[in-house]
Chain A
Amino acid sequence: MSFMRLTIPLKNKSSPTVVLPGTGSSIEPPLIGNEYIEDLVAASNTNMVEKESRWLVGDDGVNLKEMTRMHTFISQTTRPSWHAPPPSNLGEAKHGKLKADQHRSCMEFDVPCAIAQIWLHDKQGSEDNERAQRQKKLVEATILLATAIQWATSYLTSPLHAAQYMKCMVEYLNILKGLYPNMAWRPNHHASLHIGSFLLLFGPMHGWWMFVFERVIGLLQKTNTNFKLGELSL
């Protein structure tokens, strides 16, 4: 599968640069497997939107057996040493609330690849089944979300990155809308579509996301106190 390689770029690899027509500036080549994303975007434009739907969010979720397979994938993946894996018991209450960075690494590689393997690759031949059809759509949505995040969090950003991010994100949301017409949207879904313009205003997201301020909080939390906060005597 061509997209299996798409989400983990090798660090520090010297990549050939391509010259974008028109701008004349050299930009890192787009993500590997981008032609696949282009196909997905094109396909989702011809999306069926049925107004009445009996499907609710979560109806197409993974089942226990598939989850066990996903755990096997996570623990058996050989990954670069700088890539922190998500917890190997992903989804169980035992690992507690995931940190933002664990969510990031989930979506960067493990979840899209695992569900593509389970729902697309292993289920070939059962395409006529409605559930299989919807799961195929969900795999596409997941890959679009992963790609959108990849475009947004690149260390280098440009109008192309912002445009690609918006394109993938809109298509991701449209696929969800097609699958679950009655879905209750979160303010986050809406706000994510404001991010594109910030990429142009403020450059790469690393300069303005909150990881660093969360670290400040980590420092403050680690400070020894007598647990009498706000009563500090001078």
Chain B
Amino acid sequence: MSEGGHTPSARDMQLLNNFPTDLRTARKSLDLEPDIITYASCTKCCSVYPPKKSGDVTEWPTECTWRPFTTSSPCGQSLVKSAVEAGDLRVTPVCPLAIQDFNSFVGRLLCRPGYEKILDEGTVLNNETDELRDVKDGAAIRELKGPDNKPFMDGFKRSELRLVWSFSVDWFNPFHNKQAGKKASSGSVAMLLLNLPPSLRFQQENIYIATVMPKEPSGDGVNRYLEPIIGMLENNYQRGSHFASTYDNPHKGRSTRSMVALEVFDLQGAKRVLGHCSARSNHNFCSFCTASKADIGNFDWEKWEPRKLEDLRAAAEQWRDATSATARKEIYQKYGVRWSALWGLSYFDPTRSVIVDGMHNLFEGLVEFHCRDILGIDNPDPEQEPEKAADPRQLHSATKLLGRSPTRRKLERFTIPVLKALCLNNHITLPHVPTGKRLRKAQLLDLLEAFSVNIFKYHVIHASNYPIEE
């Protein structure tokens, strides 16, 4: 700064002295970090506990108090451990679950120049023709109902900004997918804002990553992880949230209301999150219809009976309200359904909003099965084309030649089938050839050479046995 004889001002000097040298400090001072709420989660039952702020110190309960049934004893797993941070002894969760605040994410979006207008434009649905060019053109989004039971997406009819989202949970191995690598399963919970045009919708900065679940819990454990997120979403749907100041409305602010229009899972993920029993089940293998496993080969889809919302909800509630593990097991076996955190959304309808993922189903499911199992491209049939028969004329001359103890060079001009036939005619045993391999010409020539040398010796020996007449 002092180059060129210019003396830096006091302000410049201050800026220079306080200039962050670490990326983290820079991100913090520019307020780029998302707002994260760190819950303490139980390592045993996956229950989560929100932090309590008292002054500067954040606290969590020390022990897990979750009870599966009202009569059972609490879980009791310890939730916190002590750690040293900046010289102070602090208490931190053993297994933290970081959840990004939903309202703060939407608020940040509205603070970006131009986004409010784009989101507003995104509330207009095209319902003119049969042609569907985007998710929003489909019937499902058009039929969403707000808490007032009127269409949720109704264009510019109100000052409130209406947002629709797609919600996805997917498990993955955080240690990369290496054969010899560590195996673990973390679950990402992410949401896409469908108001945005597709060009912006899939941008990294516009995807709301709610949380990364530390593991893939068995049973209904996943519900505990999802409950805080679903709670935020349901709250937002019922009451909406008001932002005091946005980029486009710096003084008036803006109210928003959000709704999850579709839930995207792969087949196993859907079972896990929806609390449906696995695809191995005999009577409830499909999350969408009531076909039984015996009927899996029936492709008359128009006659399949779809599941009903009331039935699913009733079974799930029955499961939730059951008072013992055996009662729950019975319900689960009967209906193939347990409680799911998603029922916390008052508008949740698994029969309409949960989809079969085309990527997993078509590409990784059907195409892979077709290529690998049916066409067998990863395990080609070693069966060879039938070998050509030996040409009789060639074979005849080869047989004659063999009688005159030929050299290897002379035999070489015959084809493999001829040489093979020649071996068989002379009762030479052919070596064993592993499946998928062919007998090589060199092998045949070796055999024939050895054979013809033997004949020659045989003749000589026989000849020497006879006294030579003088």
Partner-B contacts on A (CB < 8 A): 23, 25, 27, 57-58, 60-67, 70, 90-93, 97-98, 100-101, 103-104, 106-107, 111, 115, 138, 141-142, 145, 149, 152-153, 155-160, 166, 170, 173-174, 176-177, 183, 185-196, 198-217, 219-221, 225, 227, 229-234
B288 engages A191 (CB within 8 Å): yes
- Provide the residues of chain A in CB contact with B262, threshold 8 Å: 202, 208
- Provide the residues of chain A in CB contact with B382, threshold 8 Å: 63-64
**Min C-beta distance of B48 to chain A, whole Å:** 13
Known contacts A58-B373, A58-B376, A217-B188; decide if A200 and B360 are in contact (CB<8 Å): no
| In the complex, B95 has a CB within 8 A of chain A | yes
A189 engages B130 (CB within 8 Å): no
**Min C-beta distance of A14 to chain B, whole Å:** 17
| In the complex, B33 has a CB within 8 A of chain A | no
Chain B residue with minimal CB distance to A61? B376
B134 engages A91 (CB within 8 Å): no
- Docked complex Cα distance between A188 and B377 (Å): 20
A206 engages B264 (CB within 8 Å): no
| In the complex, B176 has a CB within 8 A of chain A | yes
- Docked complex Cα distance between A159 and B130 (Å): 7
Picked from A63, A177, A210, A216, the residue with its CB within 8 Å of the CB of B360 is: A210
**Min C-beta distance of B135 to chain A, whole Å:** 3
- Provide the residues of chain A in CB contact with B266, threshold 8 Å: 210
A67 engages B377 (CB within 8 Å): yes
Chain A residue with minimal CB distance to B261? A202
**Min C-beta distance of B382 to chain A, whole Å:** 6
Secondary structure class of chain A's binding surface, majority of residues: helix
- Provide the residues of chain B in CB contact with A177, threshold 8 Å: 297, 299
Picked from A174, A187, A207, A214, the residue with its CB within 8 Å of the CB of B296 is: A187
A189 engages B366 (CB within 8 Å): yes
**Residue among B137, B198, B215, B299 with the most chain A CB within 10 A?**
B299
A195 engages B361 (CB within 8 Å): yes
Known contacts A111-B375, A191-B267, A202-B262; decide if A174 and B299 are in contact (CB<8 Å): yes
- Provide the residues of chain B in CB contact with A97, threshold 8 Å: 177
- Docked complex Cα distance between A192 and B370 (Å): 13
**What 1/0 flags go to B432-444 for Cβ under 8 Å of A?**
0000100000000
**Min C-beta distance of A71 to chain B, whole Å:** 10
- 25 pairs, A vs B, C-beta closer than 8 Å: A58-B373, A61-B381, A63-B380, A64-B436, A65-B385, A67-B380, A91-B379, A104-B367, A111-B377, A138-B374, A158-B132, A186-B365, A188-B267, A192-B361, A195-B358, A200-B139, A202-B135, A202-B140, A204-B132, A204-B133, A207-B134, A212-B202, A216-B207, A220-B174, A220-B188
Known contacts A195-B361, A217-B172, A234-B96; decide if A103 and B133 are in contact (CB<8 Å): no
- Provide the residues of chain B in CB contact with A104, threshold 8 Å: 363, 367
**Min C-beta distance of B54 to chain A, whole Å:** 16
A230 engages B214 (CB within 8 Å): yes
**Min C-beta distance of B57 to chain A, whole Å:** 12
B301 engages A103 (CB within 8 Å): no
A201 engages B140 (CB within 8 Å): yes
**What 1/0 flags go to B206-221 for Cβ under 8 Å of A?**
0101001011000000
| In the complex, B38 has a CB within 8 A of chain A | yes
Known contacts A156-B132, A187-B285, A191-B356; decide if A221 and B174 are in contact (CB<8 Å): yes
| In the complex, B9 has a CB within 8 A of chain A | no
Picked from A158, A196, A213, the residue with its CB within 8 Å of the CB of B168 is: A213
B369 engages A62 (CB within 8 Å): no
Picked from B134, B365, B376, the residue with its CB within 8 Å of the CB of A203 is: B134
B190 engages A203 (CB within 8 Å): no
- Docked complex Cα distance between A93 and B139 (Å): 44
- Provide the residues of chain A in CB contact with B285, threshold 8 Å: 187, 190
Picked from A62, A138, A152, A230, the residue with its CB within 8 Å of the CB of B362 is: A152
**Min C-beta distance of B260 to chain A, whole Å:** 13
**Min C-beta distance of A139 to chain B, whole Å:** 10
- Docked complex Cα distance between A141 and B374 (Å): 10
A138 engages B375 (CB within 8 Å): yes
- Docked complex Cα distance between A115 and B445 (Å): 37
A210 engages B170 (CB within 8 Å): yes
**Min C-beta distance of B296 to chain A, whole Å:** 4
Picked from B264, B296, B368, the residue with its CB within 8 Å of the CB of A213 is: B264
**Min C-beta distance of A106 to chain B, whole Å:** 6
- Provide the residues of chain B in CB contact with A67, threshold 8 Å: 377, 380
A188 engages B365 (CB within 8 Å): yes
- Docked complex Cα distance between A196 and B369 (Å): 20
**Min C-beta distance of A108 to chain B, whole Å:** 9
Chain A residue with minimal CB distance to B43? A230
Picked from B131, B198, B374, B385, the residue with its CB within 8 Å of the CB of A61 is: B374
| In the complex, B166 has a CB within 8 A of chain A | yes
Q: Which of B75-116 contact A (CB under 8 A)?
A: 83, 85, 90, 92, 94-96, 98
Chain A residue with minimal CB distance to B365? A188
**Min C-beta distance of A218 to chain B, whole Å:** 9
Given contacts A25-B129, A100-B363, A111-B371, 9 further A-B contacts (CB under 8 A): A23-B130, A62-B380, A107-B370, A111-B375, A170-B299, A203-B132, A207-B135, A209-B359, A210-B170
B375 engages A61 (CB within 8 Å): yes
- Provide the residues of chain B in CB contact with A232, threshold 8 Å: 96, 98
**Min C-beta distance of B348 to chain A, whole Å:** 15
| In the complex, B364 has a CB within 8 A of chain A | yes
**Min C-beta distance of B265 to chain A, whole Å:** 8
Known contacts A100-B359, A177-B297; decide if A63 and B383 are in contact (CB<8 Å): yes
| In the complex, B279 has a CB within 8 A of chain A | yes
- Docked complex Cα distance between A202 and B384 (Å): 49
**Min C-beta distance of B368 to chain A, whole Å:** 6
- Provide the residues of chain B in CB contact with A23, threshold 8 Å: 130
B96 engages A158 (CB within 8 Å): no
